[in-house]
Amino acid sequence: MGGNLIGKRDFIQKLRDITKSFDIPLLVDEIITGYRLGLGGGQEYYGIEADIATYGKIIGGGLPTGAVVGKDSIMEIIAYTGDAATDAKTKPFYGGTFNGNLLTMVAGAATLQYLVDHPEIYGEMDRLGNKLREGINRFCREKEFPVQMTGMGSMFCTHFTDKKIESARDLADTNLEAAAAFYPHLLKEDVFIPNIHMGFISVAHSEEDIERIIAAHCRALESVRKLELI
């Protein structure tokens, strides 16, 4: 999902089959996709079950934390038994500033319970995400701008290339000068995209917000065109 590129389902499922056949643990990074694409994250989306997965601060309701989760057979290797003398000799040390932080855990439990109780929000965020991506891509096609927006669900990313994007290798021809000029213009339109250039829709965003974001992108792209960068 680097750059909000959609992985090929058959490739990912084949990777799962091969690793399982050779008894190789499959690790997936759900820092961004976990609970964002659905309750089952990227694994649910691609129809696989990993052996180890990493999650970000979604499990803390947005507060600083993270987690490494996995199957019992793997987690038992690192899980402390409670016997300090034995653990010190046989278990790897690990720690974290926010391990067991009460506020984080309470916020995380409340957030995840909300997602369980309101699964319909995923369909709505998917719909708004599709509207945003389709709106930007339609505008770029009509204006013949060598720009496109990729993503899935509530995630999106703008790429300054008209080359068909199927993998990260296809981003080698990205117009970095145009991209550098675009985001300050977008900020002038009151739309802030983090410096990783990936954007996210949340349940707080409305239909009107998406329309405003599309219009802001279009005006920012027009400004970059005036600079003769695209």
pLDDT tens digit sequence for 98-124 = 888 999 999 999 999 999 999 999 999
CATH code, domain with 168: 3.90.1150.10
Q: Cα separation of 68 and 41, whole Å? A: 14
The DSSP annotation for 80-111 comes to: --S-HHHHHHHS-----TTTT-HHHHHHHHHH
Residue 2 lies in a domain: no
Closest to 159 in 3D by CA, of 128, 136, 125: 136
Give the tokens for residue 14.
Answer: 């084949």
Of the three residues 61, 86, 117, the one that is the final residue of a domain is 117
Checking if the pLDDT of 3 tops 70, the result is no
Same domain, 125 and 38: no
Q: What percent of the chain has pLDDT over 70?
A: 99
Same domain, 57 and 156: no
pTM: predicted TM-score of the whole model, two decimal places = 0.88
Domain limits at 165?
Answer: 120-226
Same domain, 98 and 174: no
Residue 28 lies in a domain: yes
pLDDT tens digit sequence for 182-213 = 999 999 999 999 878 899 999 999 999 999 99
